[in-house]
Amino acid sequence: MNLKEILSSRSVSSKDKALFSRSLAATIEAGVPLLKAFTIVAQETNNYYLQRVSLDIVERLEQGEKLSTALAKTPKIFDEVYIYSISAAEASGKLEEVLKDLADRQEKEYEFESALKSAVAYPVFVLCALIVVTIFLTALVMPKVQVIMLNANIAVPAVTKLLLNVSSFVGNYYYILIVAILGLVLWFRMFFHTSSGKMFLSRLVISLPIIRDMYINVYMARFAKTFQMLLGSGVPYLKTIALVAKVMDNLVIQRILAKVIEQVERGVPMSVPLSQSHVFPPLVCQMIAVGEQTGKLEDVMGSLAELFENQSERNINLITSLLEPILLVVVAIAIGLVIFAVVIPIYQATGS
């Protein structure tokens, strides 16, 4: 196994799955039988783990299993939305169309993931660099400044006193600091893997003023796109709502959709419980109500998906553009305070 195979041994990104689905759709559309098409695409994929799993699926297809049945045995790669869509497509004979829709969904997810990572990467890098510089100054520079001030017997500014105290604490109790930071990081990781932590994070991202709009738009785009794709694939209405709930990685929205299923089973239109949730925007509820009344819910979901995908892109770009000047100001203030704390005492000592 080479390095590339090792790195991809257990990782299949949305981009890999999107390329796989689109290649399979194009091969089937060209008239190649399913078994042969799957074999060709499996051999051509660059992801080693996906290739191995795909070849296992080929063996199951050769034994007479349906594609959806074979895919269901690989839940870590192909989720329930993917499997139920393929199952419905096998029944309706629209496999290549459904595969294209699945590829579109996965490509959108990959684009959103990449955009969010890009938006977060810059501020994280700047803050990490600021922390490293601060630690360097407090651990190496400030002790030397303290010696200069003691020898010169000069008054110490308040900012310098603060940095000297921090420097002294880091120097004397660095091991406690390291253990505390590692313990805090570990606690947060454990907490956010519990149901309480997931619920706390789910509520937080849809409540904070700055990022609420961005996350709501992302969730609404995923909700509408997945709903449209499943309805177009022929998945039953209630099953569609249940599957959409599973792909929403927010527990608040999942609970809302669970209540929607209960109401729909009683004959209540989906738009009614959604409008009572205060999480789904009024536009979404109103357009879904129109789609339910006119029987064009699939088309309405497609329009909503396009609308919120565009709004999500604008929100991410806006937040990124706002973060850059804000971080520059924060860094400038921090560096200015450090320079003031270091340079002024040295200047006073030189003058005296």
pLDDT for residue 5 = 42
pLDDT for residue 154 = 66
DSSP secondary structure letter of residue 249: -
Q: What is the pLDDT of residues 66-94, one digit of tens each?
A: 888 888 888 778 888 888 888 888 877 77
From residue 106, alpha-carbon distances to 19, 113, 131, 267, 311 in Å are 9, 10, 37, 32, 18
Are the C-beta atoms of residues 237 and 260 closer than 8 Å to each other?
no
Q: What is the pLDDT of residues 275-291, one digit of tens each?
A: 988 899 999 999 999 99
Q: What is the pLDDT of residues 5-25, one digit of tens each?
A: 444 445 677 788 888 888 888
Report the top-level CATH class of 108-352.
mainly alpha
Binned at pLDDT 50, 70 and 90, residue 251 comes out as very high
Residue 12 CA, distance from chain mean position? 15
Q: What is the pLDDT of residues 295-319, one digit of tens each?
A: 899 999 989 988 998 888 888 778 7
Q: Residue 99 is which amino acid?
A: L
- Residue that wins the pLDDT comparison between 117 and 250: 250
- State the average pLDDT for the chain: 82
pTM for this one? Answer: 0.74
Percent of the chain with pLDDT over 70: 91
Q: Which of 246, 245, 247, 250 is nearest to 205 (CA)?
A: 250
Q: Where in the chain is the domain with CATH 1.20.81.30?
A: 108-352
Q: Tell me the H-state helices in 195-296.
A: 195-205, 209-233, 237-247, 251-265, 271-275, 282-294
Are the C-beta atoms of residues 288 and 300 closer than 8 Å to each other?
yes
Residue 239 CA, distance from chain mean position? 25
Whether residue 255 has pLDDT greater than 80: yes
